[in-house]
Structure 1
Amino acid sequence: MGSTVTKDHRADRRPREHPAAEGASAPAPRPAGGQDGGRGGHPCDAPPPALTAYGDDPGAVDADVTGAVRAVLGELLARDMAAARAVDPLFAEDVAARVARFTQGGGKFGRSRLLWWALRACGGGEPWRTGAALRLGAALELIQTCALVHDDVMDGARLRRGRPALHVEVAGQYAGAGDPERGARLGEASAILAGDLALAWADDMVADTELPRDTARRVRGLWRAMRTEMVAGQYLDVRGEALSARSPAQAIRAACLKSALYSVERPLALGAALGDAGPAVTRALCSAGRCVGLAFQLRDDLLDAFGDPRETGKPVGGDIRSGKSTYLAAVAQARAESAGDRRAVGVLRGTLGRDDASDAELDDVRAVFVATGARDAVAEKIRGLTAQGLRHLDTAPLEPLAAARLRTLLRRAAGAPDGAAGEAVPLSLIPATKDEGAGR
């Protein structure tokens, strides 16, 4: 790692304390002043107590990034909930409260942690940067809620994070009120509105974050791009399902837009922008984020087919039943067609996209993924992308201890065990299919 004192960084922006491991006891937060991050004339102009408490002590955030973001998110959501109740109590209970609960519970806060450690790696530690990072981290968690809630409706998913998906929960609430089909439609409509509300609240948090002019321009430009990329990726995803279009190149493009950018690259870029990082550092972080973000999505595709629902929080085989055009399915189909394997092609064409596919038929598809070498090819691509991403990270002159935290987060996102430079998704951790036997 290089010195932080380069033309990309100013020495006076180095963190005042070395980053501590998350989960360590945080120093007692001290009240602080600083920019309020609100709009003039709004009754909630004053910063939240949690934001004020963490604002002058980035070391306290270092010790528990998730806790700090969660505290600020909770207080900002409390304000939004109060406003929702003032608009309509029923809407607040059925829609807004579900957005708040979903956002605060069950997620790993990975995006906000990436943003924070990118900021710290770029030398950011002043109170205004700390407060802005926590607000933007909260906004990232809300945009994730928007993406997941909408995704569950489009995929017809029943579970999310081990619980009924939001649209299923609403439908169940009103199941006894009349026609079940109407209840299901109400659930889907409510989930769409909930996702819209989550995005609106996220936009409010970004807009209410006061920043120096040049920093604001960079941050808001990244935010606008991220929203459009996420929607474009989701469209490519559902279009691929509808048309049964499965090419590896198209699958990679959709995965990059739908997940890699907003899950990893853009959070890192937002942290770099908050830290006033120069072009070289920003490019290195973005390149690292794109590689690891794509590895993250490809790993998710593998886990959907071969993972343990107790670990993933959703049924295994959902992508197969929905006919999602994943890279895994695209590689399997391309290889089966190239080899003239009519049986494998028939299994894929006859099962992918059938929501009534039996468990035995899912096993047949998984066997094709293995027999064609698609599973091994995807796992190898994940390993290569992870190693490439970490090499990009190593080219940037970052604060060493914060960079080490980033490296750990990136490895975990790609499924690599701690301490492994570029290995990800060991095949031994993916359950064997019936045809392989349990001894593999």
Structure 2
Amino acid sequence: MANDAVAGNALRVAPAQPGATDDPVRGVLAAFTKDLIKGVDETLAAFLAAEVDSLTEIDAAMGGFAATARDCVLAGGKRVRPTFAYWGWRGVVGGDEPLPTVLPALAALELLHTFALVHDDVMDASDTRRGQPTAHRAAAARHVAAGHAGDPDRFGEAVAVLIGDLCMVWADRLLSHATVPPSRLLDVRRCYDQMRVETVAGQYLDVLGENDAANWSVDRALRVARYKTASYTVQRPLLFGACLAGADAHAPLTAAYTRYGLAVGEAFQLCDDLLGVYGDPATTGKPAGDDLRTGKPTALLMLARQLATPAQRRALERAGTVTGAREVARLADVVADTGAVARVERMISDRVTEALTALDTASIDETARTALTGLATAATKRRA
């Protein structure tokens, strides 16, 4: 049973249906936002080409560094944050406004996301991202291949920090390319800055939790989910889109977006918690059971400790020390046997219900309502 635990629970998290796409999020995006995703990717590619050329003029090595940062941005991803921002905008303006006016602002969120991912991978000492070596591991490997002096790991981490910093600057620069009436700029910028502040706050709490797991709790784990994931993945992008459209901060739609975004964002992170233990590495791009290897104090693990019998609790104390696949699978079984997986699945379901209820409270473009309804479900029934 232990050897089958990861695969079995991965299916439970995101059941495969005959003829269905392997990725429900991609399915919804394909159905509603083909032009958006293409537009975001083209906007990013054109912007980054010019930025790489500009940095290459400083020094040939800078060109290589900038190209590495560009590749981090363009290396796949679902474009979730630009998508939620788009529907936040579309829900206010309807279907007649031209998309190109706001495309740079939507694409800027993907640069912000890359900043967060690259720094997060350094903090977590992650080896892979989207099935490829993380930025710091790749830079370390190039350091070794070139025969450079010094510690390759230290070099790789320094390069990754700079890549993240550059992406943050690029995000600001690209945001300024959006065609937004001057009267809206301050509100747009305030929303954008709040999103960045909350991202850093959530990341700090995440780092603190990993170093103070003995004093962590389910409530604090959910607080991390709220600020590290819900804020900058769903809630703030939705509100950012509404600001781009000129929505009143006190309008019923803004309140609905706030409720919806918090609920879906937390559900998104709870789904990530399950995938961090039971996900298929071929789909997630990360080793199975990574969170158990590191002892990451997610809501799932905190709930497992809360619900565990004394014997189960003793087994769970090994989280953070297990290394082998068999040990990880056995520990994953213990987590499931406590009832924590079922509890997290109910928490996800409750949050999706809350999100859909929130959409019913405000007047919103019907196409946007349909898309957000689909995304609320798809974002929490995924394999990566």
TM-score tier after normalising by the smaller chain length: 0.7 to 0.9
Q: Secondary structure at the match of 1:324?
A: coil
Counterpart of 2:41, as a letter, is R
**Alpha-carbon deviation of 1:137?**
1.4
In 2: Cα distance, 1:78 partner to 1:195 partner: 17
For residue 258 of structure 2, what is the aligned residue in structure 1? Answer: 286
- The whole-number CA distance in structure 1 between the counterparts of 2:350 and 2:30 is 31
Indicate if the aligned counterparts of 2:105 and 2:177 stay in contact, CA closer than 8 A: no
Q: How does 1:356-367 map to 2 (within 5 A)?
A: 357-367=323-333
**C-alpha separation between the residues in 2 aligned to 1:399 and 1:407?**
12
- Tell me which residue corresponds to 2:7: none
Consecutive unaligned residues in structure 2, runs of 5 or more: 1-27
- Aligned pairs for 1:267-306 (under 5 A) are 267-278=237-248, 279-306=251-278
Within the candidate set 286, 289, 314, 1:317 is matched to 289
Residue 303 of structure 2 corresponds to 331
Q: Distance in 1 between matches of 2:327 and 2:151?
A: 31
CA distance in 2, matches of 1:286, 1:117: 13
CA positional deviation for 1:87: 2.3
Q: 1:282-315, CA deviations, whole angstroms, 9 ceiling, x for partnerless residues? A: 1101210110010001001101101111111111
23 and 347 in structure 1: CA distance in 2 versus 1, 3 angstrom threshold: closer
1:35-59 superposed Cα distances (whole Å, 9 cap, x missing partner): xxxxxxxxxxxxxxxxxxxxxxxxx
Match of 2:158 among 189, 192, 208: 189
Q: Which residue number corresponds to residue 104 of structure 2? A: 135
Q: Is the 8 A contact 2:304 2:335 kept in 1?
A: yes
- CA contact 1:265–1:286 (8 Å) conserved in 2: yes
Q: CA deviation at 1:75?
A: 0.9
Structure 1 residue ranges, 4+ long, deviating more than 6 angstroms after superposition = none
- 1:34-45 map, 5 Å: none
Q: Is the 8 A contact 1:102 1:145 kept in 2?
A: yes
Any conservation in 2 of the 1:109–1:141 contact (CA below 8 Å)?
Answer: yes
User: Are 2:377 and 1:407 equivalent residues in the alignment?
Assistant: no
Contact 1:124–1:274 (CA under 8 A) maintained in structure 2? no
Residue 23 of structure 1 deviates from its aligned partner by 5.2
* Greater helix share, structure number: 2
Q: Alignment RMSD, CA only?
A: 2.2
2:216 — aligned with what? 246
- Give 3-state SS (helix, strand or coil) of 1:398's partner: coil
- The residue type paired with residue 84 of structure 1 is L
Q: 1:115–1:133: 8 Å Cα contact kept in structure 2?
A: no
Consecutive unaligned residues of structure 1, counting only runs of 5 or more, are 1-20, 25-60, 416-424, 431-440
> Offset at 1:164?
0.9
Q: Is the 8 A contact 1:260 1:296 kept in 2?
A: yes
Count of matched residue pairs: 354
The answer as to whether partners of 1:321 and 1:353 remain within 8 angstroms in 2 is yes
Over alpha carbons, which structure has the higher Rg?
1
* Alpha-carbon shift at residue 406 of structure 1 (Å): 2.0
Could you tell me how far 1:413 is from its partner in structure 2? 1.2
Whether 1:73 and 2:41 are equivalent positions in the alignment is no
Establish whether residue 387 from structure 1 lines up as the match of residue 353 from structure 2: yes
Deviation of residue 325 (structure 1)? 1.4
Q: Percent same amino acid at aligned positions?
A: 37
Question: In structure 2, what residue type is equivalent to 1:368?
Answer: V
Alignment check: 8 A CA contact 1:149 1:165 kept: yes
Q: Offset of 1:378 from its aligned partner?
A: 0.4
* CA distances 1:116-163 after superposition (whole Å, capped 9, x unpaired): 122112125666x63342111111101110111111111111110011
Maintained 8 Å contact 2:268/2:380: yes
Higher relative contact order (CA 8 A, sep 6+): 2
1:266 aligns with 2:236: yes
Deviation at 1:331, TM superposition (A): 0.6
2:313 counterpart residue number: 345
Residue 105 of structure 1 is matched in structure 2 by 75
Q: Structure 1 length normalisation: TM-score?
A: 0.76
Within 1, Cα distance between the matches of 2:267 and 2:29? 24
Whether 1:396 aligns to 2:362 is: yes
Measured against aligned partners, the alpha-carbon deviations of 1:17-42 in whole angstroms (never above 9, x if no partner) come to xxxx9658xxxxxxxxxxxxxxxxxx
Aligned pair partner of 1:84 in 27, 31, 55:
55
CA deviation string 1:221-240 (max 9, x = no partner): 01111111101101100111
> Is the Cα–Cα contact under 8 Å of residues 102 and 179 in structure 2 kept in the other structure?
no
Deviations 1:324-381 (A, max 9, x none): 1100011111222xxxx332222222x2223x62222212321221111111100110
8 Å contact from structure 2 (residues 252, 361) kept in 1: no
1:175-199 deviation line (CA, Å, top 9, x unaligned): 2445897111111111111111111
Match of 2:133 among 164, 169, 188: 164
CA contact (8 A) 1:305 1:317 kept: yes
Cα distance in 2 for partners of 1:218, 1:392 equals 23
